[in-house]
Amino acid sequence: MKQIDKITIASLAVSILGLLVALLAGLLNPFAASMAIIGLLLLAWMAWVTAKIVVSGATFKESSQKTIVLRVDSIPDIPYYSSFQDQIVKADSAYRKAKIPPDFLTWPRFTILFWVEITEEFFQSHNNKYLFSYTSDVKDSSGYPNAFFLGVVGRSARWRFVIRGKDPKNSTEINFASAHNLLGWKLFSLRWHRDRRSLDFSIDAGHVFRDTREIPVGFLPEPVPNCEFHLGGWQDNWHGGLSELRYYGFRIYERYLSEGDLETVLSKEKELLKAT
């Protein structure tokens, strides 16, 4: 029997008992009996409504916790920016994307980390799908200037990671085709080191994919006021550019994390995500 049904029966039992008591009292005083009946019915109704609200809240909490992931502080560093740290979020609308200022692009060093669950459907869309994106200007004949985005070309398994300066000719692209080993929960990481002019892009700490590029001066995008970095899709609210994937643990650190750090995050958090 459902818990709410038990509460209903208990409320009815209280009402019936009250009615019996009131009927007995009515033999002595009819007016007092009628008032007692009304009071008891009102009390029983209020008890039922209160119990229903409590149970509904408990049920909501229970169902919500199915998407909650116990937070793991895998490394001691505190990220400068973070989102989706305590729960898994599906980027299926413009309002469920994570948006942050792009000022990290000017830092001497940074590391971007996030988990995303790649699905077969992600590769089957006719539209280009984006895991994240940043651009401050409209597209011209050379493409989007001042851009930083990663996604797949529509109806393919071809990934495209684009890094461009304000001059769209200053462009670096990392292209690769994914196989079935890219399905499921994957840890994406981007590490930038200005002194070395080095950008390291890896999936699952390099166990699935890695590409390290030298990025010349002027080839990295610049932050522009009122423009944000979007995790979960393209810059605008167009639904077709959304990844519609589940994310967890988006973090940006003010340092170049070591290989050991990436391995630690991978090992500690991957098993946790398998249970979801």
Quick one: pLDDT at residue 1? 45
pTM for this prediction:
0.72
Say which residues have a Cβ less than 8 Å from residue 184's Cβ, sequence separation at least 6. Answer: 117, 118
E strand intervals along the chain: 81-83, 89-90, 98-100, 109-118, 129-133, 148-152, 158-164, 171-177, 184-193, 198-203, 209-214, 229-231, 246-253
C-alpha distances in Å from residue 258, one per residue of 114, 171, 192, 261: 16, 26, 12, 5
Quick one: pLDDT at residue 40? 55
Quick one: pLDDT at residue 45? 52
Angstrom distance (rounded) from CA 130 to CA 122:
10
Tens digits of per-residue pLDDT, 178-206?
766 789 999 999 999 999 999 999 999 99
Quick one: pLDDT at residue 52? 42
Quick one: pLDDT at residue 233? 93
Quick one: pLDDT at residue 197? 93
Quick one: pLDDT at residue 74? 82
Query: What separation, in Å, do the N-terminal and C-terminal C-alpha atoms of the chain show?
Result: 28
What does CATH list as the number for 74-274?
2.60.120.200
Can you list the residues of the chain whose pLDDT is less than 70?
A: 1-72, 137-142, 179-180
